[in-house]
Structure 1
Amino acid sequence: MKRTFFLAFTLVWGLLLSMGAMAQGEAFGPVRSAIRSSSSHDLAQFFAPTVELSFDGDKQSYSATQAEFVMKDFFAKHSPASFDFIHYGGSNEGTPYAVGKYTGKDGAYRMFVKMKQVGGGLKIATIDFTKE
């Protein structure tokens, strides 16, 4: 009896976790497309009013408009050869994040994207690029 309960509990828990990961992955789908196409304009549609951008540890906060121009400059200098998110997660408070691998013509970067709730929807709060 205990074993059956444990197996059922494990199965239900695994399904709930996978559904949460899929939901988080779906939130990042349009972001992935914008990055793959190196479209700062499309990416900016998902920016929170203030976005923290970090390039190899140099962090700065920008308005959404300023962040769009910073990302446009980054994409121009480091156009993507490939990009994909490799891990999705969320904090205890429910803040979703994703870790990706961005390969540009000048090398590879580990990319961290964190979203937050803004006006009933998820918006990008942080983007962090770290050269590998």
Structure 2
Amino acid sequence: MKRLTYFASVLLLGLLLAVGAMAQADAFGPVRSAIRNSNARELAQLFAPSVELSFDGDKQSYSATQAEFVMKDFFSKHAPASFEFIHYGGSNEGTTYAVGRYTGKEGAYRMFVKMKTTGSTLKIATIEFTKE
């Protein structure tokens, strides 16, 4: 009987972790779509009022409107050949993040996207690109 209870507990915990990971992946679906399509306007709709953008360690904070133009410039110079998130994570404070691989004509980048809860929705607070 103890064995059955233990097995049921482990199975339930596994299911809860899987559901949490899928929920995080779903939150990043619109981000993934905007990046794959090089659509800075669509991406900007997901920005928090202030966004930190980093390109190879050069970090700057921008308003959502300014960040849209910075991302539009980046996409025009480094159009994606492929993009995929490879890891998702989060904190108890409502911050979620994803790590991805962005491959363009000029090379590959490790990409980090952090989202924070603003009001009742998740908004992009940080995007970092690091050339591999």
TM-score (norm 1): 0.97
Equivalence for 1:46: 46
Partner of 1:113: 113
- What are the equivalent positions in structure 2 for 1:1-132 lying under 5 Å apart? 1-132=1-132
Q: Secondary structure at the match of 1:130?
A: strand
Shift of 1:3: 2.0
| Unpaired runs of at least 5, structure 1 | none
Q: Percent identity?
A: 77
Report SS of the residue matched to 2:28.
helix
Q: Distance in 1 between matches of 2:129 and 2:22?
A: 24
Unpaired segments ≥5 residues, structure 2: none
CA distance 1:118–1:108, change in 2 (3 Å)? same
Counterpart of 2:68 in 1: which secondary structure? Answer: helix
Q: Equivalent residue of 1:11, what SS?
A: helix
User: Take 2:62 and 2:79, find their aligned partners in 1: how far apart are those partners?
Assistant: 21
Give deviations 1:64-96, integer Å, cap 9, x for gaps. Answer: 000000000100111100001111111232311
> What CA deviation, in whole Å up to 9, does each residue of 1:99-125 have, x standing for no partner?
110001000000000100112100000
Q: How big is the alpha-carbon RMSD for the aligned residues of Structure 1 and Structure 2?
A: 0.8
Provide TM-score, normalisation by structure 2. 0.97
